[in-house]
Chains A and B, each alone.
Chain A
Amino acid sequence: MAFVVGKSLWDVSRLPMEVAIMGGSVTAIRYVVTFIFPVIIGLLTKWLYPALTQQLLPATKKEGEA
């Protein structure tokens, strides 16, 4: 969950485009104010949706073993 939210918020491939069009200050401010969110969302998922975490774990394990 933290990975998906992190990828949406801080897509590095989008960064040059965002700096060029929106400006360095707006981009920097956006990164600063959203910095902590992926971590918070990851922790909230574990806390609020423990069943979902359990459901996703075996899939991750299987992928790792393959």
Chain B
Amino acid sequence: MAEAVWVLILLSVALFIFAMKRKDGSHKKGVKIGADLFYSYLPVLVLAFLAAGLLEVALPPALVQYWLGAEAGWRGILIGSAAGMLVAAGPYVSFPIFASIAQSGAGIGTTVALLTSWSVMSLSKLPFETALLGPRFTLARFSLVLLIPVIAGFLAQLFFAAII
């Protein structure tokens, strides 16, 4: 968590300086957009963290470790890939849920598979994509990205399980 705070502080300061150097009031505009976003998402954020906290106590750690932990191997990665697809919510709701699953003992492979599957295969995006880009495009894309979460989860488990 502390490392995430430092990354965000550095990112914010760098972007603020970059915006200020443009000398057109971009920095003030950016801060205002950020504040507006914060207020508009505040209720969703509070509820999402509440749900994530309750999910963490509702999910028995032993069960999560058995099905989704590093020892679960392929099973965890496959479950993560399928589960991510079914989470039909935006990042403000999904990330706290994924974080609570990771906190409960899910392995890095499963967490990456969950996040990747939600990013590329979330079923909630399908109606918009089909309407705007066409069913043929959506079907072709879906057939091509089907294995990405599994491969990404496998690579994360293989190369990063030992260092995280």
Partner-B contacts on A (CB < 8 A): 1, 4-5, 8-9, 11, 14, 16-26, 29-30, 33-34, 37, 41, 44-45, 48-49, 52, 55-56
Please pick, from A16, A23, A25, A52, the residue contacting B140 in the complex, using a CB distance under 8 A: A52
| B side interface size, CB within 8 A | 38
* Pairs A-B, 6 closest by C-beta atoms: A21-B95, A33-B155, A33-B152, A8-B120, A24-B3, A29-B160
Partner-A contacts on B (CB < 8 A): 1, 3-5, 7-8, 11, 91-92, 95-96, 98-99, 102, 108, 111-112, 115-116, 119-120, 125, 129, 133, 136-137, 140-141, 144-145, 148, 151-152, 155-156, 159-160, 164
A52 touches B152 (CB 8 A): no
A33 touches B112 (CB 8 A): yes
B4 touches A30 (CB 8 A): no
Please pick, from B108, B137, B164, the residue contacting A56 in the complex, using a CB distance under 8 A: B137
In the complex, which residue of chain A has the Cβ closest to the Cβ of B12? A16
B120 touches A9 (CB 8 A): yes
List B contacts of A19 (CB < 8 A).
4, 7-8, 11
